[in-house]
Amino acid sequence: MRKYKKVKEKKVTYDLDEWREVEYRAAKLNMKTGTYIKRISADGTITFCDVPMMASLIKEINAIGQNINQIAHKANEINSIYAGDIEKLKGEFSHLCHTVSQNLFTPRLTKL
């Protein structure tokens, strides 16, 4: 038992089918069953992030950033660029960043 922290312990009983389902869901999220049970009962949701999908998205965003840098370099080289074009580019990039952050960091309840 912990020395300084007050805790509450509760015994929960599952039938075999329920326990298999708990194990399956925990394994799908790469979690221990105890951790899964504690997180799902306390928070009600578990946010799962598909890392390979995020890696692909980050690669695409980096490519967009490289294109913007090339445009900026060329604009500085020829000293001619329209303010409207810059504002349009900023707006589109801002919209992209907002969309990505909203989709990646908004918690969603995913049924497993």
- In this prediction, residue 109 carries a pLDDT of 46
Rounded to whole angstroms, how far apart are CA atoms 103 and 20? 31
Say what the pLDDT of residue 16 is. Answer: 94
The domain spans of the chain are: 9-46, 51-105
Here the tokens at position 81 are: 């660029």
Please give the span between the terminal C-alpha atoms of the chain, in angstroms, as a whole number: 33
Using pLDDT thresholds of 50, 70 and 90, give the confidence band for residue 19: very high
For residue 23, what pLDDT is reported? 93
**pLDDT tens across 1-14, in order?**
556 778 788 888 99
Cα 101 from chain centre? 8
Question: How much is the pTM?
Answer: 0.41
Between the CA of residue 67 and those of 9, 28, 64, 71, 89, what are the distances in Å? 56, 38, 5, 6, 11
Band the pLDDT of 17: cuts 50, 70, 90.
very high
Residue entry with tokens 């999908």: 53
Task: State the DSSP code for 48.
Answer: -
Measured distance CA(68)–CA(70) in Å, rounded: 5
Quick: pLDDT tens for 50-102: 667 677 777 877 788 787 778 777 777 887 777 777 777 778 778 877 777 76
